[in-house]
Amino acid sequence: MATFTAFTGDVNKVISTQLSDENGPIDVTGATIVFHARNRADPAITISGNAAIVTAASGIISYTLTAANLTTPTIPGEYDVEWQVTLGGATITWPSPGFDTLIIQQQIA
């Protein structure tokens, strides 16, 4: 599982990962991918949006956290992250089992 870090107020912070299973990287050619994050302390606080495919054959994807993602109501803390991949009529969630982690930290200045 991957861990990503961002700061409140960051603009266009890109996080990326490679989707894989026991057979290696997942080819995501033609897929649609949605990023979801849920605050562990307050599950009502969420971040979601369409992810981008960086290298389809290698399963490399990314999501760009915007300033809106990293301001109110988003609060610093740890978030569970999942990537929902729809391909060929099936939707599969990565990682499985468990979650990636997004840590949002408060800026000092």
How far apart, in whole angstroms, are the C-alpha atoms of residue 77 and residue 92? 26
Thinking of the domain 3-102, which architecture would CATH place it in?
Sandwich (2.60)
Q: pLDDT value at position 72?
A: 62
Q: pLDDT value at position 68?
A: 79
For the chain, what are the domain ranges? 3-102
Q: What is the 3-state secondary structure (H, E, C) of the chain?
A: CCEEEEECCCCCEEEEEECEECCEECCCCCCEEEEEEEECCCCCCEEEEECEEEEHHHCEEEEEECCCCCCCCCCCEEEEEEEEEEECCEEEEECCCCCEEEEEECCCC
Instruction: Dump pLDDT digits (tens) for 47-80.
Output: 999 999 999 999 999 999 987 787 766 689 999 9
Task: Write down the mean pLDDT value for the chain.
Answer: 92
pLDDT at position 93 over 70: yes
Q: pLDDT value at position 28?
A: 97
Look at the pTM and tell me if it is higher than 0.85. Answer: yes
